[in-house]
Structure formats: structure tokens, C-alpha cells
């Protein structure tokens, strides 16, 4: 194959070739034809003749290509027979024999998948580029395939393969991707370490949660959730979302989650917890906004009492499959300040399921937020099974995948409807106390009869009766009517609670030998596994204690 018969389709080649074929005109005749405005002969004598510059087509192309550092190969014909490789190509992949098909002469191109690309270039007559492919020599190249034609006009077609070494760029890109991957793993590890490693499992609820970081960026979000057992059979559930992404959002989330657990120990109503949390969020970072829902479940009331700071509504499905949206009341996000939050409630009886979630589950760029919540309601209506199964189904129904662009946190809780032998492990008994000298003996007799009917061991029976007697005596001395004694058993503990109309909370103190009071709470705290007190929503207080049941 004569290499000089081939030329690249360079712009202007045809114009320069036509210029070279124009007939030569005598300089004197050109001067005669200039007419007005032509350069006078006297001045023309002083003009110097420009140096002769060879045209592009007159350059020794083969010599140029042999000297370029890039890899160059030329193939022609339908089977891409090799016409030429330059010195750089031969140095990289070895010498090649012209005339053989590219499949045999250039096996490295076949390994890189370039042969189909050569076919496309030859058929379409348009150049194609294959970026950053690692070749058998261990280096990375970007291949540009350009169509060429025979210079003698015979119509033969070929392809010029031009390979640029981009190994340094490819290695830098690999290092950057590896660095981003390590940063993301670190950020996700930080995020997950700030979330509860193991959810607390209350006696009366079954709970499951899931968290999925969004996208492939290193900047994770500030989604979080928690489950806190408050004692006395009550459970606090919380979910929130710190706006923004990155380590800063995760750090703020960790501080808010820790604060919620501390405030929860005060056993405050939901709206008071959010009020405290709002002030803390302002102190942490006035520019960092967060949404949050804090809810409390009390099995004695069969309701979920909650307060929301700009968060999405809780969804509750009852035992009949009807889904209710608890979207009132809702205050502004945490960190805005100057707002008095309020508490609301939604029924959560036996057989019900509640879902708390962040906006990554329902918010999409191409649809309204209400449409996403409505779709979640439909998915919840048909989702049955354990909390973890429901959680997974809701995430799948929302189309959340590994490359989802936002973090997703979901918390599912069920209040199971217990029947048969399981129902015998969960019992309630209550006694209204009118006051007077007969209240304490009546309370002891009631507690003794109930604990006997529940077939408690003798030692636990006696401790329960003593605790009930001390709590009632404390209420009679320091509280006001109405008073109530409530006993509750679960599969894991015995709970004794006394409520009255006075909101003064008792505290454990050390009684001196001469003191006539102050020993009741100390006795209860000594014999019980746990004890506590709280103010009740309608005014008054509740004082409770727990006894762990022996494992059967």
C-alpha cells in the first residue's frame, strides 16, 4: 500500500490544491490589470518577497507521523487491512506487518473493542472517540478514529487511528474516585454510628427501622430516628431530619438525638420536649434548620400523643386497614425560635401500625409532596406482616434504590392484637381511691388479690403489695383527689402506678432518724427495678415503679 495515496480530510485541502493548479500569470500583465488603487511600480521595488512556506500537503506526512509521541495506525478496506503504524505505536505494541487484517495485525485493538468502532467510522464517514481505555501494555489511551480516503480519487476508504496516552489522567481519576469512596464510607460510618445501634423493644410494641444514605456522594444527610423506653409501660418515638448534607449536618443530628434522649428522661409532654429542642437547635447553629416529630405511646390510653416541628405527618393504619394521616398540629422547624409548640394525638389501639419517615421516602423533583404522601398511604394500606417486612415494602414501593439522591429513614411500630395464651401475659387492673383512712388498707387488699390471681411468686407478690401500699400512702399524704391505683403486667414486668390531682412531683431523699416522712419513695426505689414520676396532661401527676419478672 502506497502511503502517499492517502490523505486526511483536512479543511482547506481542496482549496490549496486548486490554487496550485491555476495557470501562472506574468507579473507585468498582473500589474497592467490592476488599474486604480494598485501599488505603484516605484513602491513595488522596495517590497521584499516573503519567504517561501510549504503547503500542508507538501509536508512529508509520514516523517511527521513517525515523530509524534501519540500512537498512529492506518487501516483500509472492509476488513481494515493494516497500511501503516508509526514508531510510537511500534514501541508500545511491537512492530506490525502491513497488509494483514486488523483482527490479526492489531490484536490489541480487538481486545479494546475498537474493531466495531472502525466499522462504524468507515460506514458513516464520521469520526468517533473512545475515551480512556486501558491497553494490554498497562497504559491508558484515548482513541480517536477518523475516516480517510485515497488521494487519487479511487474512492477507497480507510480509518486513521490516533491514540493519546492519558495514563496520568486515568490514574489521577482513579485516585480521586477512591478518595471520594473512602470519604463517603467514613461519612456513612459516622452517620450510622450516631443512629441507635440496636432499637429498644418495648413490651407493648413491635418496632423496626431502616436507614439508607442517598446517592454516591460523600456528603450524607442528617436523617435520624430513635426509640426510648420511658418506664411505666410508655415509649417515646422520634424521627428527624437536619437540613443540608455533610459532616456538619450529621454532627448537628448527633447533638439533637442526644438531647432528645436527655429530655425524654424528664418524662415531659411531646410539645415541651420540642420546645426545649428548639432552643438547643438555635444555640447549636442558628443557620441549621431541622424538622422533628416526637411521639409517646401509652398502652393504657391506646393513643399516640405527638408534637411536630415542621415534619411530615405520621401515618397510622388501624386493624381494618384504614389509614389516617396525623397532620395537625404542626409547628415550624427546630431552630426558628419564637413558637409555642402544641401536642396532638391519634388512636393507636391493638392491631394498628404507625409509620414515621423522612422526606427522602416521599419527595420527588417531578411530583408534588402530597402525591408522594398519598402514594405512601396506599402502600401502607396494603402492607402487612412484621414491622421489618412493612418497612421494606414501603421503601420498595417508593422506588428507593442504592443511587437514590436523598437519605431515607423509616420507623415502623405495631401495637399487636394479642389473643389466646399471649393475651394472658398482658393484664390490667385499676382501682379508684376516694381517700380517707380506709384507702390504704383497701389498696393493699386490691393489690394482693390481683397479684394472686395473676399467679405471681410469693416474694414478688409481697414486694408488689408493699410498693402499692407505699405509693398510695405517699399520694394520700401529699396529693389530692381523684386518686387511682393501676396494676399492669406484661410478659417481662409488673408495673404499679398511682395517679392523683396534685402536680408536685416527689423526689427521693434521705430521711433522718427523726423524720416522720420521706421514707416511702426511698423504700419503693430500693425494692423496685425502676421508678419514676411525671405530670399528667389534665393536671396532676403519676408515680410508678416496675418489677422485672423472672424468666420462665
DSSP symbols for 72-94:
EEEEETTTTEEEEE-HHHHHHH-
All three cell numbers of 74, joined, read 492506518
Nearest to 131 by CA among 119, 147, 148, 113: 113
Q: Which three cell numbers stand for residue 343?
A: 401536642
pLDDT for position 179 = 83
- Give the mean model confidence (pLDDT) for residues 516-520: 69
Report pLDDT digits (tens) over 434-462. 877 788 899 999 999 999 999 999 999 99
First-to-final CA distance of the chain: 93
How far is Cα 258 from Cα 254, in angstroms, rounded to an integer? 6
C-alpha cell at position 425: 401475659
Span 83-103, mean pLDDT? 89
Please calculate the CA angle 360-366-367 and round it to the nearest 5 degrees: 75
Q: Summarize pLDDT for 381-392 with one digit per residue, the tens.
A: 999 899 999 999
pLDDT(540) > 80: yes
d(CA 158, CA 318): 73
Closest CA relative to residue 118, chosen from 161, 156, 155, 154: 161
All three cell numbers of 185: 464510607
Q: Is the pLDDT of residue 199 over 50?
A: yes
What digits encode the pLDDT tens for the residues 224-264? Answer: 899 999 988 999 999 999 887 777 777 888 899 999 999 99
Residue 270 has pLDDT above 60, yes or no: yes
Write the Ramachandran bin of 18: left for phi over 0, alpha for psi from -120 to 50, otherwise beta: alpha
Q: What is the pLDDT of residues 40-60, one digit of tens each?
A: 544 544 555 555 655 555 667
> In the predicted model, is pLDDT for residue 514 greater than 80?
no
The helix (run of H) or strand (run of E) holding residue 500 is strand 493-500
Contact 355, 380 (CB under 8 A): yes
**pLDDT (0 to 100) of residue 13:** 43
Residue 171 has pLDDT above 80, yes or no: yes
Q: Whole-number mean pLDDT of the chain?
A: 84
Identify the pLDDT of residue 336. Answer: 83
- Extract the C-alpha cell encoding 264: 425524654
> Pairing mode, if any, of strands 541-548 and 530-535?
antiparallel
407 pLDDT band, cuts 50/70/90, is confident
**Which of these ranges, 224-228, 476-480, 524-528, has the smallest mean pLDDT?**
476-480
Most confident of 37-46, 82-91, 212-221, 488-497: 488-497
Place of cell 437540613: 243
Instruction: Give the model's pLDDT for residue 218.
Output: 46
Specify whether the CB–CB gap between 397 and 379 falls below 8 A: yes
- With a CB cutoff of 8 Å and minimum separation 6, the contacts of 426 are 203, 204, 418, 489, 490, 491
**Cα distance between residue 402 and residue 395, in whole Å:** 11
pLDDT for the residue 271:
94
pTM above 0.85, yes or no: no
Least Cα distance to 190 among 407, 396, 355, 357 occurs for: 407
Interval 403-407 mean pLDDT: 76
The CA angle 317-323-328, to the nearest 5 degrees, is 105
* Beta carbons within 10 angstroms of residue 182's beta carbon: 11
pLDDT > 50? residue 9:
no
Name which of 204, 296, 113, 268 is nearest 490 in CA terms.
Answer: 204
Size of the chain, expressed as the number of residues it contains? 552
DSSP-assigned letters across all residues of 115-168: HHHHHHHHHH---EEEEEEE-TTS-EEEEEEEEEEETTSS--EEEEEEEEE-HH
> How many CB atoms are located within 10 Å of the residue 494 CB?
24
Q: Tell me what pLDDT residue 177 has.
A: 86
Cis peptide before 48 (omega within 30 of 0): no
How is residue 278 written as a grid cell?
A: 428548639
Amino acid at each position: 500500500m502506497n502511503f502517499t495515496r492517502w490523505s486526511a480530510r483536512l479543511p482547506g485541502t481542496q482549496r490549496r490544491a486548486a490554487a496550485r493548479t491555476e495557470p501562472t500569470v506574468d507579473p507585468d500583465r498582473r500589474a497592467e490589470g490592476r488599474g486604480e488603487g494598485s501599488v505603484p511600480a516605484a513602491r513595488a521595488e522596495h517590497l521584499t518577497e516573503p519567504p517561501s512556506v510549504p503547503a500542508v500537503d507538501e509536508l512529508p506526512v509520514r516523517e511527521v507521523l513517525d515523530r509524534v509521541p501519540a500512537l498512529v495506525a492506518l487501516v483500509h478496506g472492509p476488513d481494515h487491512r493494516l497500511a501503516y503504524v508509526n514508531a510510537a505505536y511500534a514501541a508500545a505494541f511491537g512492530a506490525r506487518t502491513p497488509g494483514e487484517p486488523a483482527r490479526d495485525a492489531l490484536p490489541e485493538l480487538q481486545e479494546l473493542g475498537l474493531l466495531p468502532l472502525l466499522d462504524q467510522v468507515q460506514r458513516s464517514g464520521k469520526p468517533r472517540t473512545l475515551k480512556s481505555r486501558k491497553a494490554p501494555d498497562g497504559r491508558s489511551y484515548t482513541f480517536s478514529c477518523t475516516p480517510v480516503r485515497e488521494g487519487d480519487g479511487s474512492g477507497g476508504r480507510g480509518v486513521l487511528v490516533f491514540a493519546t496516552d492519558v495514563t496520568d489522567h486515568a490514574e489521577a481519576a482513579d485516585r480521586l474516585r477512591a478518595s471520594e469512596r473512602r470519604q463517603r464510607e467514613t461519612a456513612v460510618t459516622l452517620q450510622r454510628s450516631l443512629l441507635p445501634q440496636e432499637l429498644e423493644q418495648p413490651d407493648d410494641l413491635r418496632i423496626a427501622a431502616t436507614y439508607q444514605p442517598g446517592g454516591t456522594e460523600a456528603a450524607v444527610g442528617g436523617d435520624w430516628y430513635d426509640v426510648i423506653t420511658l418506664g411505666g409501660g410508655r415509649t417515646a418515638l422520634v424521627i428527624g431530619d437536619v437540613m443540608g448534607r455533610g459532616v456538619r449536618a450529621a454532627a448537628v443530628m448527633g447533638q439533637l438525638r442526644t438531647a432528645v434522649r436527655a429530655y425524654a428522661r424528664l418524662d415531659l409532654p411531646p410539645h415541651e420536649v420540642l420546645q426545649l429542642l428548639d432552643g438547643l437547635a438555635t444555640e447549636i447553629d442558628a443557620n441549621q434548620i431541622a424538622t422533628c416529630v416526637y411521639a409517646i405511646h401509652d398502652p393504657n390510653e391506646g393513643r399516640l400523643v405527638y408534637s411536630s416541628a415542621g415534619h411530615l405527618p405520621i401515618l397510622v393504619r388501624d386493624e381494618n386497614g384504614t389509614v389516617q394521616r396525623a397532620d395537625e398540629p404542626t409547628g415550624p422547624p427546630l431552630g426558628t425560635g419564637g413558637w409555642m409548640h402544641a401536642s396532638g394525638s391519634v388512636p393507636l389501639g391493638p392491631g394498628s401500625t404507625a409509620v414515621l419517615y423522612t422526606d427522602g421516602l416521599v419527595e420527588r423533583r417531578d411530583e408534588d409532596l402530597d402525591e408522594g404522601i398519598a402514594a405512601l398511604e396506599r402502600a401502607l394500606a396494603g402492607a402487612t406482616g412484621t414491622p421489618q417486612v412493612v418497612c421494606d415494602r414501603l421503601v420498595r414501593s417508593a422506588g428507593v434504590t442504592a443511587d437514590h439522591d436523598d437519605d431515607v429513614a423509616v420507623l415502623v411500630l405495631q401495637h399487636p392484637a394479642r389473643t389466646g395464651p399471649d393475651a394472658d401475659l398482658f393484664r390490667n387492673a385499676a382501682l379508684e381511691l376516694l381517700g380517707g383512712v380506709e384507702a390504704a388498707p383497701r389498696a393493699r387488699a386490691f393489690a394482693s388479690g390481683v397479684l394472686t390471681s395473676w399467679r405471681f411468686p410469693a416474694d414478688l407478690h409481697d414486694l408488689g403489695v408493699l410498693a402499692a401500699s407505699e405509693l398510695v400512702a405517699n399520694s394520700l399524704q401529699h396529693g389530692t383527689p381523684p386518686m387511682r391505683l393501676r396494676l399492669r403486667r406484661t410478659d417481662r414486668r409488673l408495673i404499679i402506678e398511682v395517679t392523683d390531682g396534685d402536680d408536685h412531683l416527689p423526689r427521693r431523699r434521705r430521711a433522718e432518724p427523726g423524720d416522720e416522712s420521706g421514707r416511702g419513695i426511698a423504700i419503693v426505689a430500693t425494692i423496685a427495678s425502676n421508678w419514676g414520676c411525671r405530670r399528667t396532661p389534665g393536671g396532676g401527676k403519676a408515680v410508678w415503679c416496675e418489677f422485672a419478672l423472672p424468666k420462665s
